[in-house]
């Protein structure tokens, strides 16, 4: 890490993370004549956002920054790779991907963290010990809706409060256990005889995380909570399952011998929602 990156990481311990994030979220949800259109246009220019992909390409039609930031894309803007491909759940950049070392995930070179700490559930962590994971970072310019990498029924969802460190590459490389310390949503799905988990990690200035079945999940409370379902909520592969109001990180986990990741799914690779990032194999027998 450079000196500047080290300073950036250290400063995050000093700034009021939650207050700044709540202020940013309040602004993003509010319609402010003249100011909101100005900020949207400056953002598009600064980050090179391709508005031709959006259902509504005219920036002036978005009433709030959140409406612009979470904009839906035109049909077929993200074609889905045919089954049995494992779909990339979002646009972004691969942070890390590979096999869990027992119950540990690789955060960055030389830095591991615990699946138990990430998921907040020992039983779930046991399911994924020795399995497969992929971590994808969403930059501000990326499409910020998250989709299903495979088909599955929602089994449980948990909210885990935490810090709101940035999740940019500098902080990932310099803050051990980052993803297990930040506020996050953990959704576990049961698929064809197996299961998989999707973790949506909050971060500084991320105004909220939403799901279609529960609405806004973060910011919610200072206490963790969990819901169990009767598996009535079934989501096809490629269907939208969540939205970030400003950027963050998605982590997907699969049990052992269920997924073979693409050989070129390496740190730094740019990916787009719907492309193949591996293959999924159905379980030979139900997972108990």
pLDDT in tens, 42-56: 999 999 999 999 999
Encode 100-117 in three state secondary structure. CECCEEEEECCEEEEHHH
Looking at the structure, tell me whether residues 38 and 91 fall in a common domain: no
Looking at the structure, tell me whether residues 16 and 132 fall in a common domain: no
Residue 4, sorted as left (phi over 0), alpha (psi -120 to 50) or beta, turns out to be alpha
Q: What is the DSSP string of 182-241?
A: B-EEEEEEE-SSSEEEEEEE--TT--EEEETTTEEEES--SS-EEEE--S--EE-TT-EE
Per-residue pLDDT tens digits for 103-151: 999 998 889 999 999 999 999 999 999 999 999 999 888 999 999 999 9
Integer CA distances (angstroms), 234 to 126, 192, 204, in order: 24, 12, 31
* pLDDT score recorded for residue 213: 86
* Domain-located, residue 202: yes
Domain range enclosing 227? 85-280
**Count of domains for the chain:** 2
pTM of the model: 0.88
Nearest Cα to Cα of residue 170 among 226, 123, 107: 107
Looking at the structure, tell me whether residues 107 and 61 fall in a common domain: no
Mean pLDDT in residue range 154-182? 84
Report CA 231 to chain centroid distance, whole Å.
22
Integer CA distances (angstroms), 145 to 41, 209, 245, 272, in order: 20, 10, 9, 11
The H helix count followed by the E strand count for the chain is 8, 18
Residues annotated as catalytic (active site), given as ranges: 91, 147, 248
Looking at the structure, tell me whether residues 170 and 35 fall in a common domain: no
d(CA 173, CA 149): 26
Per-residue pLDDT tens digits for 177-227: 889 988 899 999 998 767 999 999 987 666 578 898 888 877 655 556 666
Looking at the structure, tell me whether residues 90 and 173 fall in a common domain: yes
Looking at the structure, tell me whether residues 127 and 63 fall in a common domain: no
Looking at the structure, tell me whether residues 17 and 100 fall in a common domain: no
């Amino acid at each position: 890490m450079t000196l500047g990156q080290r300073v950036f990481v250290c400063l995050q311990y000093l700034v009021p993370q939650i207050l700044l994030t709540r202020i940013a979220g309040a602004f993003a949800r509010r319609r402010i004549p003249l100011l909101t259109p100005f900020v949207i246009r400056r953002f598009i220019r600064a980050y090179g956002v391709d508005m031709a992909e959006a259902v509504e390409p005219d920036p002036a039609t978005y009433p709030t920054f959140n409406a612009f930031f979470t904009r839906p894309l035109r049909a077929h803007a993200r074609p889905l790779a045919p089954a049995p491909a494992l779909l990339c759940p979002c646009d972004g950049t691969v942070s890390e991907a590979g096999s869990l070392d027992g119950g540990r995930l690789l955060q960055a070179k030389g830095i591991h963290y615990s699946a138990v700490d990430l998921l907040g559930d020992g039983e779930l962590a046991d399911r994924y010990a020795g399995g497969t994971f992929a971590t994808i970072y969403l930059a501000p310019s990326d499409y910020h809706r998250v989709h299903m990498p495979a088909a599955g029924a929602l089994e449980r969802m948990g909210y885990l409060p935490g810090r709101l460190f940035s999740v940019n590459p500098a902080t990932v490389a310099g803050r051990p256990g980052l993803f297990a310390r930040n506020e996050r949503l953990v959704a576990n799905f049961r698929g064809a005889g197996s299961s998989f988990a999707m973790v949506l990690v909050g971060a500084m200035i991320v105004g909220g995380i939403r799901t279609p079945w529960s609405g806004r999940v973060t910011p919610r409370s200072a206490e963790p909570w969990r819901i169990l379902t009767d598996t009535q909520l079934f989501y096809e592969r490629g269907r939208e399952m969540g939205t970030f109001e400003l950027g963050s990180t998605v982590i997907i986990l699969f049990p052992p011998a269920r997924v073979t990741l693409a050989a070129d799914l390496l740190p730094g690779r740019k990916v787009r929602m719907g492309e193949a990032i591996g293959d999924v194999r159905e379980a030979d027998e139900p997972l108990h």
